[in-house]
Chain A
Amino acid sequence: MRRWHALLTLVLLLLASPTLAVMPDEKLADPALEARAREISKELRCLVCQNQSIDDSDAGLARDLRVLVRERLVAGDSNDQVLRFVHDRYGDFVLLRPPVRPETWGLWFGPAVVLLIAGAGAAVYLRGRRKDAHAVAVSADLTPEEEARIAALLAKERGEKRS
């Protein structure tokens, strides 16, 4: 009885594979082509949900596009040709990796520019702090007035202790 429970648990665990949007009936018989289809699908945005690739999405349009991608591959298209086919119809937004063009420079190089600016700011700040530390070191020598004040304070304390 116990063994049966263990076996059942094992079978159920094996069945609980991560859910995939790609339906078995969409898959191609040729594993090489199917792998390429998966690769392409990960590059294409589902325009209905907009933050998922068509490989991840359950939307009807995503399914249609997955089937379309596979049809183009079977027809002999290269990966680039398939991507271009979809890009021609849906524009830049359908590509999860947008092309590098003057309009998208901000997108591609913006983070690096921000990093440079932050780095420059940090450098200036750190140099300023080192200068401050230097200034403190220089002023470690006490001025005559300070010496006099310390002597007075110490004398006062000694006087208080004695009394």
Chain B
Amino acid sequence: MSRVVILLPVVLFFALAGVFAYALYFKELFTGVAHNPSELPSALIDRPAPEFALPALRDDGQGLSSADLKGGGAKLVNVFASWCAPCRIEHPQLMEMAKAHGVTLHGIAYKDKPEDSRRFLEVLGDPFTRVGVDRDGRAAIDWGVYGVPETYVVDADGHIRYRHVGPLMPQDMEKMLGMVRELGR
């Protein structure tokens, strides 16, 4: 009996070490997703997108507000900025989603000069249906944005269903496209 009690801390130690080792080294093997401590789940999952109304970036007057996210099937909302380097890396994937797969993409230009955002889209291509200017980043705070780029999957009812933090890489495309397809165009 006493031997069991004395061994308990050792057993607990190895159990704890096992949990840490799993999260650090082996999670990728089992789930295919590496543990990234800087990637946080959104607090808004399955909740309606926040109330907001942003002026249009382009001359077409297509700003972005919460009303625009209701109806019209599932869509992606991408938070970007011209000063954000990873945004340039993910941009080809956004273009492909919009052009090749016909996904509806809306943009929020985060804390960026409108002329810079416009130039960014002129040079790299414009995948967005609507683009709102969030000059002071207040709308982004309502979305729980803590760094650009971030991409949200919003369903037809205007509820946030998923958040991708960081650049959307080619290997992330399948997941995002699957989700949009499942939630209905």
Interface string of B1-20 (1 = CB under 8 A from A): 01001101100100000000
A117 at the interface (CB under 8 A from B): yes
B96 at the interface (CB under 8 A from A): no
B30–chain A nearest beta-carbon distance, Å: 21
Given A117-B9, A121-B5, A121-B8: A90 and B43 interface contact (C-beta under 8 Å): yes
List residues of B (73-103) whose CB comes within 8 Å of A's CBs: none
A28 at the interface (CB under 8 A from B): no
A147 at the interface (CB under 8 A from B): no
* Chain A interface extent, by class: 20 to 34
For the complex, count residues of B whose C-beta is within 8 A of A: 24
Instruction: Say whether B144 contacts A124, CB under 8 Å.
Output: no
Q: How far is the CA of A87 from the CA of B136 in the complex (A)?
A: 20
A2 at the interface (CB under 8 A from B): no
Partner of B146, one of A47, A92, A114: A47
Q: How far is the CA of A127 from the CA of B42 in the complex (A)?
A: 51
Q: How far is the CA of A67 from the CA of B45 in the complex (A)?
A: 26
Residues in chain A near residue B38, CB distance under 8 A: 50
B84–chain A nearest beta-carbon distance, Å: 12
A109 at the interface (CB under 8 A from B): no
A48 at the interface (CB under 8 A from B): yes
Instruction: Say whether B44 contacts A89, CB under 8 Å.
Output: yes
Instruction: Say whether B137 contacts A89, CB under 8 Å.
Output: no
Instruction: Say whether B8 contacts A64, CB under 8 Å.
Output: no
Instruction: Say whether A121 contacts B43, CB under 8 Å.
Output: no
Residues in chain B near residue A118, CB distance under 8 A: 9
A88 at the interface (CB under 8 A from B): yes
A120 at the interface (CB under 8 A from B): yes
List residues of B (46-72) whose CB comes within 8 Å of A's CBs: 50
Offer 12 A-B interface pairs, CB within 8 angstroms, sorted by A: A61-B141, A64-B138, A89-B44, A89-B143, A89-B144, A90-B40, A90-B146, A91-B42, A93-B40, A120-B5, A121-B6, A125-B6
